[in-house]
Amino acid sequence: MNPRAIQAIYLFEMARWLRTLGQSVLSPVISTSLYFVVFGAAIGSRIEDIEGVSYGSFIVPGLVMLMVLTQSVANASFGIYFPKFIGTIYELLSAPVSYVEIVIGYVGAAASKSILLGLIILATAQLFVPLEVAHPFWMIGFLVLTAVAFSLLGFIIGIWADGFEKLQLVPALIITPLTFLGGSFYSIEMLPPLWQTVTLFNPAVYLISGFRWSMYGLSDVGVGVSLSMTLVFLALCVAIVGWIFKTGYRLKS
């Protein structure tokens, strides 16, 4: 393991993120604040509390997960796609740097950005609605696991994509809809029995449910199930990344 190689990639990606701080942080925070204003204040005041938690506070975990998921995918996919686009990926692959170090550098930077953004959004949410954290250790754990897993997914998308349009395809058509339909703005117990069963096939349900449990002690599925599903998804992404570097898929051509 070469710590200097990991540090170089990590610091380069973080520096690129800091150069576009307004777009990277302010834009998600402003858009999330609008959700709090519209759903938390305007609509939430007319909705009854959900198991003792106000509606404005109830949607906070879902909104945090929405931003963490989309930003993890976006940061990691662009981070690895841009070197492919300008051709510097070959210099990286020919350098005395292992594939593991490349992945740790890029994915670590993307996950760090998403975790920081998630914490900033949590701090912003306190300006609009009352928050409580029942299990802070679990909250950080779910936040880190989610950011790392979806940063790996973004890394895979960045390798797979052969154009900037494809970088937006999966987040826009898959990630965001799954998050909205995964209980971000409601409890799946409010759905008819058939749709409750269908919703359980949505992986975002387990992420949002686990994160909500860490804050309020409320969950749509057991916390053990949420953690297990998150780890399974993480392991699947690790396996796919390993296969990509083993076969050279979209790297050697």
Phi/psi at 34 (nearest 5 deg)? -65, -35
- In sequence order, what are the residues at sequence separation of 6 or more whose Cβ sits closer than 8 angstroms to the Cβ of residue 19? none
Taking only the tens of pLDDT, the chain with its 253 residues reads 778 888 988 998 898 888 877 777 788 888 878 877 777 666 666 777 788 888 888 888 998 998 899 889 988 998 888 888 877 777 777 878 888 898 999 999 999 999 999 999 898 888 888 888 899 999 999 999 999 999 999 999 999 888 787 788 777 888 888 888 888 888 888 888 888 888 888 888 999 999 999 999 988 898 999 999 999 999 999 999 999 888 878 776 5
In the chain, where the domains are located: 3-247
Instruction: Give the rounded percent of residues in the chain with a pLDDT score beyond 70.
Output: 96
Q: DSSP alpha helices (H): ranges in the chain?
A: 3-19, 21, 27-35, 55-58, 60-86, 89-94, 99-125, 136-160, 164-170, 176-180, 193-199, 203-216, 223-247
pLDDT value at position 34? 81
pLDDT value at position 41? 65
Note whether 22 and 117 are within 8 A (CB): no
Phi/psi at 50 (nearest 5 deg)? -105, 105
In terms of phi and psi (left: phi > 0; alpha: psi -120 to 50; beta: otherwise), the region of 149 is alpha
Rounded-to-integer distance, Cα 157 and Cα 160, Å: 5
